[in-house]
Structure 1
């Protein structure tokens, strides 16, 4: 049986889609695509900013050390919810590492993984990241809850959520540096 050209094209498309959706090649393609389409995060307009009232949010790191968000009240706080299985999350990690390298001593960074501890530890080690990774140990405050990943919040010293971003973004952009510098003054 001889296949027509359109049938061959349809088979090729199905194979490419299967590679994209069901193989590691597809995962890496999604990461690359997310890096290409990532954008500069935009601050929330002042009149639309939410205020973080509930700072009671317990987190635990991979070594078992427990921290609470309320310990950082009054700091500029950068919170990123992510997972190793999430291509947009993986796509923004190099920029997040660079931002952490630049501001890790001035800003409180909380990278909260919604994933298995072992997978996260392997991922962080394999990529040579030194980000402060935590896991939820209690209920997430309603204001910070999002089912979407990645989701990132930047909270100013007064508790205003000045950035609430869902999806892959370029966190090491000049605009983010300017924003953080302004918040730290």
Structure 2
């Protein structure tokens, strides 16, 4: 019994999402995609929902960051249960990003236990960064931290000098 409890405690304390290949999402037309198909390239995943006040406040700055960095592969995934709610929010705020949807269970499996959550997926499919809660997308320090993980070092330094 003590071994079982010790093993359970060890599992609880050491659990951290390590690999994201099983994660799936769909686009507006209902086509399903998997992260396994994107393995080999770094990727930023941003979870949000239209009913989340912090997400609503953060999304314009996030969208501006994405627009400023088109070289970064980004998935902005809504956890809304209704595509109509997510679409309405994007339209009312003039945010021009593709509508991608997933469910809360899949997002939690990647470590998204709060919204918004931003993940950096390394080229090997492992989660290299996990940021829960809203972020200051206009911060150069935060941007540089993300870009160092998402782009080759030379390209990241070049982008920094262009600001």
Matched, 1:134 2:119: no
2:46 corresponds to 1:71: no
Partner residue of 2:75?
A: 110
CA offset digits 1:117-174 (Å, max 9, x no partner): 1010111111111123311279627651433211111122233433211111112321
Partner of residue 132 from structure 2, selected from 157, 161, 166: 166
Cα 1:87–1:54 change in 2 (3 A) is closer
Q: Is the 8 A contact 1:58 1:138 kept in 2?
A: no
Seen in structure 2, the aligned counterparts of structure 1 residues 74 and 68 have a Cα distance that, compared at 3 Å, is same
Match of 2:24 in 1: 58
2:42 paired with 1:85: no
**Structure 1 residue aligned with 2:117:** 151
For residues 109 and 84 of structure 2, the distance between their equivalents in structure 1, rounded to whole angstroms, comes to 28
The TM-score normalised by the length of structure 1 is 0.64
Distance 2:86 2:47 in 1: 13
For residue 119 of structure 1, the aligned residue among 80, 85, 90 is: 85
Output the CA distance in 1 between the equivalents of 2:21 and 2:109: 10
Q: Deviations over 1:25-69 (max 9, x none)?
A: xxxxxxxxxxxxxxxxxxxxxxx9x67434022211112232211
TM-score normalised according to structure 2 size:
0.71
Alpha-carbon separation, structure 2, partners of 1:177 and 1:146:
20
Once residues 65 and 172 of structure 1 are traced to their aligned partners in structure 2, the CA distance between those partners, rounded to angstroms, is: 33
Higher alpha-carbon deviation: 129-138 or 92-101: 129-138
Unmatched segments (≥5 aa) in structure 2: 1-13, 153-163
Q: Tell me, yes or no, if the aligned pair for 1:78 and 1:107 is still in contact at 8 Å.
A: yes
TM superposition outliers: structure 1 runs of 4+ over 3 Å: none
Q: Work out whether residues 154 and 162 of structure 1, in 8 Å CA contact, stay in contact via their aligned partners in 2.
A: yes
Q: 2: CA distance between counterparts of 1:148 and 1:158?
A: 25
* Distance verdict in 2 for CA 1:72–1:174, change over 3 Å: same
Q: 1:178 and 1:54, CA in 2 relative to 1: closer, same or farther beyond 3 A?
A: closer
